């Protein structure tokens, strides 16, 4: 009966929203256009090269990485320095956006990773992006670049530890009931073959999405200019491993697991992108919320300015590296350096689409705590940074 009431209220809410929607107002019309324009950009720029490889990696994690291995390095009983080092380093290597990291997070979490290391990985993936940090230092100043790097590394560990302290016992009991016990599983192929297989998929994900650097010369620019050649090498290696090393049954299990993550995550992401587009619009364009509100509210270095910057960053969607030019414009409009750092620490790691998917993976309470930790810590870091700079 309770479920039927919820469905009725949902239908009623959608009907009332549609009935009273002020469609004749220009801002509302523009917000609707922005929502679908944002969805269009997201589909063209992030699905084929970001999400699809991530779904296949997540499916591979759930099928080909033994539960014992996950528990050994990321499980609740693993040594803390090992689990958090693995989680943060993995995120640094992948350098993905807040949405692309989700299938990977879901994969290791469902495979038995502790809530602490799993959320450390969830934060570190988009936040500790080496290229983004370098560009931040070059465009916005070395002090912001260094502060972003140091704070993001600390945040990933601190957030993970706090989540483990709050929910570690509960997670351990749940996983014990579900049979998450580290057992030796028979390996169907040598470890080095699995390493090559996973490395090829990670290589495709990383280099296919390699962002264009500010400078036209140097190592980063050289990699960007040759990224499709490098990516094609990884594609060939992956094709070879699939053809030569895997049985048909294994490939079927892999594709089914990948499809499972796709069904769970993709609808929530698309819905979240539409909502974010309606409310906030794309960078340089407005949704229902006027952009001058943001510019007026993030000036100076007050607690309120930093808190608002962290919240605004958390709900906005930033594609990888786009936060830097957006902040360059906001700083020019009078944004304080403290709020700028707060947005840099909360923005890339969170977004409204990202939040919806996290909730579907680990529940409402844990999601709210995770989001709150990111926003509060970003606010504090912004206040401290703005005091000295």
For residue 315, give every residue at least 6 positions away whose Cβ sits within 8 Å of its Cβ, in sequence order, or none.
Answer: 276, 279, 280, 350, 351, 352, 355
Cβ contact 58:96 at 8 Å: no
CA separation, residue 279 to residues 19, 191, 209, 275 (Å): 19, 48, 27, 6
The encoded tokens of residue 272 equal 């979240």
Cβ contact 376:350 at 8 Å: no
For residue 184, is pLDDT > 70?
Answer: no
* Residue of 180, 23, 64 whose CA lies nearest to 114: 180
Is 255 inside a domain boundary? yes
Question: What per-residue confidence (pLDDT) applies to 329?
Answer: 66
Is 295 inside a domain boundary? yes
Question: What per-residue confidence (pLDDT) applies to 370?
Answer: 94
Rounded to whole angstroms, the Cα distance separating 55 from 39 reads 19
pLDDT digits (tens, 9 = 90+) for 130-153: 667 766 777 778 888 889 888 888
For residue 27, is pLDDT > 90?
Answer: no
CA separation, residue 214 to residues 107, 147, 219, 335, 341 (Å): 34, 20, 12, 22, 20
Is 30 inside a domain boundary? no
| Bridge partner residues of 299 (DSSP) | 335
More confident residue, 81 or 129: 81
Is 9 inside a domain boundary? no
Is 182 inside a domain boundary? no
Confidence of residue 381 (pLDDT cuts 50, 70, 90): very high
Would you state the torsion angle of the CA atoms of residues 199, 348, 385, 116, taken in this order, to the nearest 10 degrees? Answer: -60
* Range 190-209 average pLDDT: 86
* Residue of 165, 94, 159, 173 whose CA lies nearest to 123: 159
Question: What per-residue confidence (pLDDT) applies to 300?
Answer: 77
For residue 172, is pLDDT > 90?
Answer: no
Phi and psi angles of residue 213, each rounded to the nearest 5 degrees, phi first: -75, 165
Angle CA 257–268–298, to nearest 5: 130
| Bridge partner residues of 55 (DSSP) | none
Of the listed ranges 53-62, 252-261, 307-316, the one predicted with least confidence: 53-62
Helix (H) / strand (E) element for 81: namely helix 80-94
Is 5 inside a domain boundary? no
Question: What per-residue confidence (pLDDT) applies to 177?
Answer: 58
Rounded to whole angstroms, the Cα distance separating 293 from 312 reads 11
For residue 161, is pLDDT > 80?
Answer: yes
Percent of the chain with pLDDT over 70: 85
* Range 324-333 average pLDDT: 70
Mean pLDDT across the chain, nearest whole number?
81
- In which region does residue 327 sit, left (phi positive, over 0), alpha (psi from -120 to 50) or beta (all else)? alpha
* Range 204-209 average pLDDT: 84
Q: Is-above-0.75 flag for pTM?
A: no
Is 27 inside a domain boundary? no
Confidence of residue 188 (pLDDT cuts 50, 70, 90): low
Question: What per-residue confidence (pLDDT) applies to 385?
Answer: 93
Which domain, by its residues, includes 253? 38-175+191-388
Angle CA 208–318–197, to nearest 5: 30
Question: What per-residue confidence (pLDDT) applies to 6?
Answer: 81
Rounded to whole angstroms, the Cα distance separating 178 from 174 reads 6
* Range 188-217 average pLDDT: 82
Rounded to whole angstroms, the Cα distance separating 110 from 61 reads 10
Question: What per-residue confidence (pLDDT) applies to 91?
Answer: 60
For residue 171, is pLDDT > 60?
Answer: yes
Question: What per-residue confidence (pLDDT) applies to 333?
Answer: 63
Number of domains the chain contains: 1
Helix (H) / strand (E) element for 385: namely helix 364-388
Is 14 inside a domain boundary? no
Rounded to whole angstroms, the Cα distance separating 375 from 311 reads 6
The CB-side HSE value for 259 (13 A sphere, CA atoms) comes to 6
* Range 182-196 average pLDDT: 69
For residue 236, is pLDDT > 90?
Answer: yes
User: What is the DSSP-derived secondary structure letter of residue 45?
Assistant: I
Assign 335 to helix, strand or coil. Answer: strand
Rounded to whole angstroms, the Cα distance separating 376 from 310 reads 8
Question: What per-residue confidence (pLDDT) applies to 284?
Answer: 67
pLDDT digits (tens, 9 = 90+) for 283-326: 667 777 776 676 677 777 888 889 988 998 888 877 666 677 67
More confident residue, 307 or 85: 307
């Amino acid at each position: 009966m309770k479920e039927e009431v919820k469905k009725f209220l949902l239908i009623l809410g959608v009907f009332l929203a549609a009935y009273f929607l002020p469609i004749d107002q220009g801002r509302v019309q523009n917000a609707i256009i922005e929502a679908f324009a944002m969805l269009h950009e997201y589909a063209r720029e992030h699905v084929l090269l970001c999400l699809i490889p991530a779904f296949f990696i997540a499916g591979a994690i759930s099928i080909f990485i033994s539960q014992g291995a996950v528990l050994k390095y990321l499980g609740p009983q693993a040594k803390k320095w090992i689990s958090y080092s693995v989680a943060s380093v993995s995120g640094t290597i992948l350098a993905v956006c807040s949405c692309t990291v989700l299938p990977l997070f879901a994969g290791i979490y469902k495979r038995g990773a502790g809530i602490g290391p799993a959320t450390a990985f969830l934060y570190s993936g988009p936040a500790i992006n080496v290229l983004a940090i370098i560009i931040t230092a070059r465009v916005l100043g070395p002090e912001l670049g260094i502060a972003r790097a140091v704070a993001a590394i600390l945040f990933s560990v601190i957030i993970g530890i706090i989540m483990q302290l709050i929910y570690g016992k509960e997670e351990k009991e749940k996983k014990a009931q579900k049979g998450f016990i580290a057992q030796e599983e028979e390996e169907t192929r040598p470890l080095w073959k699995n390493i090559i297989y996973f490395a090829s998929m990670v290589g495709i994900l990383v280099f296919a999405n390699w962002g264009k650097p500010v400078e036209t010369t140097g190592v980063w620019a050289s990699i960007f200019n040759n990224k499709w050649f490098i990516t094609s090498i990884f594609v060939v290696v992956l094709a070879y491993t699939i053809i030569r090393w895997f049985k048909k049954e294994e490939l079927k299990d892999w594709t089914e697991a990948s499809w499972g993550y796709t069904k769970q995550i993709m609808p929530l992401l698309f819905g979240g992108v539409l909502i974010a587009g309606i409310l906030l619009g794309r960078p340089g364009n407005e949704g229902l919320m006027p952009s001058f509100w943001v510019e007026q509210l993030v000036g100076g270095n007050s607690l309120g300015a930093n808190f608002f910057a962290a919240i605004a960053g958390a709900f906005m969607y930033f594609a990888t590296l786009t936060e830097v030019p957006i902040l360059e414009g906001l700083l020019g409009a009078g944004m304080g350096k403290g709020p700028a750092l707060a947005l840099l620490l909360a923005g890339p790691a969170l977004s409204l689409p990202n939040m919806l998917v996290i909730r579907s993976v680990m529940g409402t309470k844990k999601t709210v705590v995770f989001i709150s930790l990111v926003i509060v810590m970003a606010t504090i870091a912004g206040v401290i940074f703005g005091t000295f700079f």
